[in-house]
Structure 1
Amino acid sequence: MTRHEEAQGPKHARDLTRRKVIALGAGAVAAAGVGGAFAAGAFADEAGGAGGSASGAAEACYKLTSETTEGPYYIDADKIRQDITEDKEGIPLTLRIKVVDAETCKPLSGAAVDVWHCDALGIYSGYESMSTGGGGGAPTGAPTGAPSGPPPSGAPSGGGGGHEEPTDDERYLRGTWKTDRSGFVTFKTIFPGWYRGRCVHIHTKVHVDGAWTDGGYEGGHTCHTGQFFFAEEAVLAAAEVAPYSTNTTERTTLTEDTIYDQSGTTGGLLKLTYNKKDIAKGVLATITVGVDPDATHDGTEDAVQPGTPATASAPAG
């Protein structure tokens, strides 16, 4: 059974084991190295097993990265690829992640890393009819204060990680890839947009103790479920660029978000490198993720961030 087929099954089946994945053809893998200047440099570094300076390779040790809810829109490693862009328009983003054992500080090689996020208008593939994007006009200034009023129909709500079954066959802006011998994995994608109730973010999972085969990755367990976040300065700059500039959905800021725990890198805040005068040329986002490879964190246990009241209710996306 393929991973996509299993994603349609009962939720308890998703939680019992890491499902088998089906890899794309060689042509798709080769395409993963194609991209702008940021992407080319990042992929070259990974291929050589070096180039860790951007992700803090000089650090002596790392803290455990915050766990978060999985959210409702996870599809378990449906695409084994580094280039997850497909035909989606947006600012080119190279996401470079280093995964380390937070206790031993050693890189985790051969781990399977999932990433998924919405497009420039807040739409998730696989859930287009349920997502809450926006468009049709330019936004009016930076948001002030928390969003008010009920979310529009179909918006994610509540603080749990309740999974929703996919409503369509689209799979853009989703992918899984293997960490190299230095713990690095690189994805080519676009800068995410936003939807009501959440700041700009990318979801991620790290799976260990499984096996990479000719068919993909199977077995093992999920040792980390988290989210990556973007500094407000970059989000405001991106909001001036099409198609983000057509997104009229009310935006939640980084400090207003109830999933981000405000702890910086430990909470998933990315280090962003881009031309401050022209963000449209592309962004390099890097982070070191500290995990406990012996733990299981599948993101369905209603994770509560440090500093967040246990009674807080947050959009689950």
Structure 2
Amino acid sequence: MTNNQGPAHKKDVTRRRVIMAGGAVVAAAGVGAGVVATASADEEKSTASGGTAGQGETCYRLTSETTEGPYYIDADKIRKDITEDKEGIPLTLRLKVIDSDTCKPLKKAAVDIWHCDALGIYSGYESMSQGGPGGGTPPSGAPTDAPTGVPTDAPSGTPTGTPPSGGTGGGGGHSEPTDDERYLRGTQLTDKHGYVEFTTVFPGWYQGRAVHIHTKVHVGGKMTDAGYEGGHTCHTGQFFFAESAVLDSAKEEPYSTSTTTRTTLTEDTIYDQSGVTGGLLKLSYRKGRMARGVTGSITMGVDPDETHDGTDL
């Protein structure tokens, strides 16, 4: 996508709001005994200025502008199904985009999502990702040929300069792709009601980050033979998963084979702990049958006149 610079920030991002239709996720997955429906207990309600929320809908404030992280690729993969045969728990992700001032749906907005696979690997960055067997517990015991004593050429004094940072953990600047894989990445245009729906898999985890999905919303461009071109990025955020759902996923293969140390939702440095207002998805699945599939949904309130590309956070 060509991302031309849009208008400067003209409004406080804390005015962003979300409309959540009560019970909509459970209805989509089928109501009945044994259905698990996750939701935030601390959803912050507010009244949308000039809002036109439908009956049974409530406006919520959304403040989840986040970094895009190092693994974004402008792949222009216009598609609903982004799995490319990757193993994992089926996830149907239903997203809605609205104007934060009017609560009206934004049609023909381009929504990107991208995330790691069930073992924490990102397409395009397989050699750099922290997931998989490489992120497990280090071996115990000392090597039999470990050197002893103090090296004679050990440097003295205080080191200068900036110390190296740890793993990327989903933050930091952009990294150039290392391979041509593009699984678990895709873009769609919202319909006249502001909706897009993706078919993917429940993400796994990697060291330093809670389970999450990245997203961008682009407006003002148009679809061409080369993909979505022009316009600007009005929202960059991340979606998060309730801890109970992540624990349930860890019981299923291939997630159960991961030896990577997991970061919980409360330990994550990107998630702001604000529930739905911070990107926490509403999830629905059948208890004990999670392997059959999960439905997740959220509505993103954005200001289409703002520019938030996630590279300056």
CA 284–221 in structure 1, closer or farther in 2 if over 3 Å, else same = same
Q: Which residue does the alignment assign to 1:97?
A: 95
CA 66–235 in structure 1, closer or farther in 2 if over 3 Å, else same = same
Q: Which residue does the alignment assign to 2:71?
A: 73
Q: CA deviation at 1:137?
A: 11
Q: CA deviation at 1:159?
A: 5.0
Contact 1:65 1:289 in 2 (8 A): no
Q: Which residue does the alignment assign to 1:281?
A: 292
Contact 1:65 1:291 in 2 (8 A): no
- Counterpart code for 2:168: P
> Quick one: which of 104, 107, 110 aligns to 2:108?
110
- Identify the range of structure 1 (201-210 vs 72-81) with the bigger mean alpha-carbon deviation: 72-81
Listed as ranges, the matches of 1:136-175 within 5 Å are 155-156=167-168, 159-160=171-172, 162-175=173-186
Q: Which residue does the alignment assign to 1:207?
A: 218
The runs of 4+ residues in structure 1 deviating greater than 6 Å are 136-139
Q: Which residue does the alignment assign to 2:261?
A: 250
Contact 1:230 1:270 in 2 (8 A): yes
Structure 2: gaps of 5 or more residues:
7-24, 30-52, 138-164
Listed as ranges, the matches of 1:1-317 within 5 Å are 16=4, 58-135=56-133, 155-156=167-168, 159-160=171-172, 162-302=173-313
Q: Which residue does the alignment assign to 1:34?
A: none
Structure 1: gaps of 5 or more residues:
4-13, 19-37, 43-55, 140-152, 303-317
**TM, length-normalised to structure 1:** 0.71
Q: CA deviation at 1:211?
A: 1.1
Question: Secondary structure at the residue paired with 2:239?
Answer: strand
Of structures 1 and 2, the one scoring higher in RCO (CA 8 A, sep 6+) is 2
Cα distance in 1 for residues equivalent to 2:293 and 2:177: 30
- Counterpart code for 1:156: T
Q: CA deviation at 1:102?
A: 1.0
Instruction: Find the structure with the greater CA-based Rg.
Output: 2
The CA deviation string for residues 155-174 of structure 1, in whole angstroms up to 9 with x for no partner, is: 315953x0000000000000
Question: Secondary structure at the residue paired with 1:255?
Answer: helix
The CA deviation string for residues 66-119 of structure 1, in whole angstroms up to 9 with x for no partner, is: 100000000014311110000210000000000001111000010000000000
Equivalenced residue count is 242
CA 137–228 in structure 1, closer or farther in 2 if over 3 Å, else same = closer
- Counterpart code for 2:119: L
Cα distance in 2 for residues equivalent to 1:228 and 1:248: 23
Contact 1:260 1:267 in 2 (8 A): yes
Q: CA deviation at 1:135?
A: 3.3
Identity among equivalent pairs (%): 73
Question: Secondary structure at the residue paired with 1:103?
Answer: coil
- Counterpart code for 2:130: T
Cα distance in 2 for residues equivalent to 1:138 and 1:240: 17
CA 156–137 in structure 1, closer or farther in 2 if over 3 Å, else same = closer
Contact 1:61 1:102 in 2 (8 A): no
Q: Which has the higher helix share?
A: 1
**TM, length-normalised to structure 2:** 0.72
Contact 1:136 1:246 in 2 (8 A): no
Cα distance in 2 for residues equivalent to 1:290 and 1:245: 35
Cα distance in 2 for residues equivalent to 1:241 and 1:125: 22
Q: CA deviation at 1:63?
A: 2.1
Q: Which has the higher strand share?
A: 2
The CA deviation string for residues 274-302 of structure 1, in whole angstroms up to 9 with x for no partner, is: 01111101000000111111100000011
Question: Secondary structure at the residue paired with 2:247?
Answer: helix
Contact 1:64 1:292 in 2 (8 A): no
Aligned-residue RMSD, C-alpha:
2.5
Question: Secondary structure at the residue paired with 2:205?
Answer: coil
- Counterpart code for 2:196: V
